[in-house]
Chains A and B, each alone.
Chain A
């Protein structure tokens, strides 16, 4: 399920559209991850406030979306482009890769909520494919 020329075009255009609200998307996606899938809170035991929309959650959501924007720039070679981030997730953060599916789902929910008119089924399928490829590239260095 690799990305076609059409997929890449749709993804670049859509991420252009959402760029002004990227932090909001990140904040929504991370908030939902922590509330709807409470087991993910285990990775944030060092934060006092895990409530939706808290400062730390908002900021970290933004950080995640910056990583994703970087991946869009490197869409033609995700493995190479995400090498450093993969090493970070594999050796330092050691986040179980099953969680990438979870946050991807919540990123899609955030897109649907914040951009209902733009997040059409055609955009949805390309973005879903892209986020899956992203998760795969991020898992590269795990073992």
Chain B
């Protein structure tokens, strides 16, 4: 069981309460596809991903980014049992989508960068530590059902 301090709980809820899902979702997924181009392998049917400009303008990328970000809501609401919350999603990513779980870490890093850019000096080291701890638990849970 993961132990969360009051500060960590409040910080995580606060970040997601203030988040513009459309903006952050699109920015995060497009950044991931640009910075780690091998991740494009999972999006063969998304149309034009030929260069950074195309990726950032792609409406399917933007929509999917928003979907993925809303997927994190479940974890925010169930901080005390993220493992169980994501069991089904983990099976989905393993059995159906065949996503290498290392990609979860790459996307999490991109989300950290995007949130840092949006929050500026409010993204203090303590806030970063809480946010990265949350993402590490999410990443771990999503990889849990792989075999």
By a beta-carbon cutoff of 8 Å, the part of chain A in contact with chain B is 31-32, 34-36, 52, 105, 108-109, 112-114, 116, 119-122, 124-125, 128
Contacts and interface: CB of A to CB of B under 8 A. Distances in A.
Given A109-B116, A113-B121, A128-B35, A35 B126 contact: yes
B120 A121 contact: no
Contacts of A124: 31, 34-35, 113
Contacts, number: 55
Interface residues of B, number: 25
Contacts of A109: 112-113, 116, 123, 128
B125 A52 contact: yes
Given A52-B125, A108-B113, 20 more contacts: A32-B128, A34-B125, A35-B125, A35-B126, A35-B128, A36-B125, A36-B128, A105-B109, A109-B128, A112-B117, A113-B119, A114-B120, A116-B120, A120-B52, A121-B55, A122-B34, A124-B34, A124-B35, A125-B34, A125-B35
A128 B124 CA distance: 22
Contact of A121 (B52, B112, B125): B52
Interface string B28-71: 00110011010000000000000010011000000000000000
Contacts of B113: 108-109, 112, 119, 124
